[in-house]
Amino acid sequence: MVKTRFVKDIKEGEQVRDLFLVAGKAQLMSNAGKPYLTLALRDRTGQFEGRVWDRAEEIGKRFERDDIVEIGGTAIQYQGRMQLKVHDVQKAAGARPDLGDFLPPRDRASLEETAGSRGGRRGRGPAQAPCACLLRFA
Protein backbone atom coordinates (compact mmCIF):
# COMPACT_ATOMS: atom_id res chain seq x y z
CA MET A 1 0.00 0.00 0.00
CA VAL A 2 1.21 3.49 -0.84
CA LYS A 3 0.41 6.36 1.53
CA THR A 4 -2.23 8.65 0.02
CA ARG A 5 -3.87 10.49 2.97
CA PHE A 6 -1.97 12.72 5.39
CA VAL A 7 -2.89 13.85 8.90
CA LYS A 8 -3.30 17.51 7.87
CA ASP A 9 -5.90 16.58 5.24
CA ILE A 10 -8.17 14.37 7.35
CA LYS A 11 -11.56 15.92 8.13
CA GLU A 12 -14.24 15.04 10.66
CA GLY A 13 -16.57 12.27 9.53
CA GLU A 14 -14.22 10.85 6.90
CA GLN A 15 -13.48 7.16 6.62
CA VAL A 16 -9.73 6.67 6.72
CA ARG A 17 -7.67 3.71 5.50
CA ASP A 18 -3.99 4.52 5.18
CA LEU A 19 -0.48 4.04 6.55
CA PHE A 20 0.71 5.74 9.73
CA LEU A 21 3.70 5.47 12.05
CA VAL A 22 2.75 4.35 15.57
CA ALA A 23 4.66 6.90 17.66
CA GLY A 24 2.97 5.76 20.89
CA LYS A 25 0.84 2.87 22.08
CA ALA A 26 -0.80 2.20 25.45
CA GLN A 27 -3.47 -0.22 26.61
CA LEU A 28 -5.74 1.34 29.24
CA MET A 29 -9.02 0.51 30.97
CA SER A 30 -12.25 2.41 30.43
CA ASN A 31 -14.43 3.50 33.36
CA ALA A 32 -16.54 0.42 32.60
CA GLY A 33 -13.50 -1.84 33.07
CA LYS A 34 -13.11 -2.62 29.37
CA PRO A 35 -9.61 -2.47 27.78
CA TYR A 36 -8.93 0.01 24.99
CA LEU A 37 -5.87 1.22 23.09
CA THR A 38 -4.72 4.77 22.70
CA LEU A 39 -2.33 5.39 19.81
CA ALA A 40 -0.20 8.34 18.74
CA LEU A 41 -0.27 8.20 14.94
CA ARG A 42 1.99 10.34 12.76
CA ASP A 43 3.12 11.12 9.29
CA ARG A 44 5.21 13.93 7.79
CA THR A 45 2.37 16.47 8.22
CA GLY A 46 1.58 15.91 11.89
CA GLN A 47 0.32 13.64 14.61
CA PHE A 48 -3.08 12.77 16.03
CA GLU A 49 -4.62 10.33 18.47
CA GLY A 50 -6.27 7.05 17.60
CA ARG A 51 -8.48 5.00 19.91
CA VAL A 52 -9.32 1.30 19.57
CA TRP A 53 -12.48 0.63 21.56
CA ASP A 54 -13.49 -2.80 20.24
CA ARG A 55 -11.25 -5.89 20.20
CA ALA A 56 -8.43 -3.82 21.74
CA GLU A 57 -6.48 -6.79 23.11
CA GLU A 58 -6.69 -8.73 19.84
CA ILE A 59 -5.77 -5.74 17.66
CA GLY A 60 -2.99 -4.64 20.03
CA LYS A 61 -1.14 -7.94 19.51
CA ARG A 62 -0.73 -7.23 15.79
CA PHE A 63 1.77 -4.38 16.05
CA GLU A 64 4.17 -2.49 18.32
CA ARG A 65 5.20 1.10 18.89
CA ASP A 66 7.42 2.32 16.04
CA ASP A 67 5.74 0.07 13.46
CA ILE A 68 4.28 1.43 10.25
CA VAL A 69 0.73 0.16 10.12
CA GLU A 70 -2.34 0.28 7.92
CA ILE A 71 -5.19 1.78 9.92
CA GLY A 72 -8.89 1.81 9.15
CA GLY A 73 -11.21 4.09 11.08
CA THR A 74 -13.44 7.13 11.28
CA ALA A 75 -12.22 10.68 11.94
CA ILE A 76 -14.07 12.42 14.79
CA GLN A 77 -13.70 15.65 16.76
CA TYR A 78 -13.13 15.10 20.48
CA GLN A 79 -12.58 18.03 22.84
CA GLY A 80 -11.68 20.25 19.89
CA ARG A 81 -9.08 17.90 18.41
CA MET A 82 -9.16 15.46 15.55
CA GLN A 83 -9.11 11.83 16.66
CA LEU A 84 -9.41 8.56 14.79
CA LYS A 85 -11.88 5.95 16.04
CA VAL A 86 -9.90 2.93 14.89
CA HIS A 87 -11.72 -0.14 13.59
CA ASP A 88 -8.74 -2.16 12.37
CA VAL A 89 -4.92 -2.15 12.42
CA GLN A 90 -2.50 -4.33 10.46
CA LYS A 91 1.25 -4.11 10.08
CA ALA A 92 2.10 -2.60 6.71
CA ALA A 93 2.66 -5.34 4.14
CA GLY A 94 4.03 -5.36 0.65
CA ALA A 95 6.55 -2.90 -0.72
CA ARG A 96 8.83 -1.00 1.60
CA PRO A 97 7.15 2.28 2.63
CA ASP A 98 8.65 5.64 1.67
CA LEU A 99 10.12 6.86 4.97
CA GLY A 100 9.71 10.44 3.78
CA ASP A 101 5.97 10.01 4.27
CA PHE A 102 6.36 9.54 8.03
CA LEU A 103 8.93 12.10 9.25
CA PRO A 104 9.16 15.87 8.89
CA PRO A 105 12.14 17.05 6.75
CA ARG A 106 14.26 17.84 9.84
CA ASP A 107 13.90 14.28 11.15
CA ARG A 108 14.47 12.72 7.72
CA ALA A 109 17.87 14.45 7.44
CA SER A 110 18.75 13.13 10.88
CA LEU A 111 17.65 9.62 9.86
CA GLU A 112 19.74 9.71 6.70
CA GLU A 113 22.80 10.84 8.67
CA THR A 114 22.26 8.08 11.22
CA ALA A 115 21.66 5.41 8.60
CA GLY A 116 24.76 6.58 6.72
CA SER A 117 26.88 6.12 9.83
CA ARG A 118 25.40 2.63 10.46
CA GLY A 119 23.32 3.68 13.45
CA GLY A 120 25.89 5.90 15.18
CA ARG A 121 24.34 8.86 16.97
CA ARG A 122 27.23 11.24 16.24
CA GLY A 123 26.74 13.40 19.31
CA ARG A 124 23.00 13.93 19.06
CA GLY A 125 20.95 14.02 22.23
CA PRO A 126 17.92 11.76 22.61
CA ALA A 127 15.47 14.47 21.54
CA GLN A 128 17.14 14.59 18.12
CA ALA A 129 17.50 10.86 17.55
CA PRO A 130 15.17 9.52 14.84
CA CYS A 131 12.50 6.98 15.60
CA ALA A 132 14.13 3.56 16.12
CA CYS A 133 11.64 1.83 13.83
CA LEU A 134 12.75 3.78 10.80
CA LEU A 135 16.31 2.60 11.17
CA ARG A 136 14.99 -0.89 10.38
CA PHE A 137 13.86 0.34 6.96
CA ALA A 138 16.90 2.45 6.14
**What's the pLDDT band for 90 if we cut at 50, 70, 90?**
very high
pLDDT of 131 > 70? The answer is no
Average pLDDT rounded to a whole number, residues 2-7: 91
SS3 content of the chain, % helix, strand, coil (to 5): 25, 40, 40
Q: Amino acid letter at 124?
A: R
DSSP state at residue 63:
-
Residue 18 CA to residue 89 CA, distance in Å, equals 10
pLDDT of 123 > 80? The answer is no
For the chain, the average pLDDT equals: 83
Average pLDDT rounded to a whole number, residues 50-56: 97
Q: What pLDDT shows up at residue 77? A: 94
Q: Which residue has the higher pLDDT, 119 or 61?
A: 61
Residue 100 CA to residue 86 CA, distance in Å, equals 24
Q: What pLDDT shows up at residue 137? A: 46
Average pLDDT rounded to a whole number, residues 24-43: 96
What is the reported pTM?
0.76
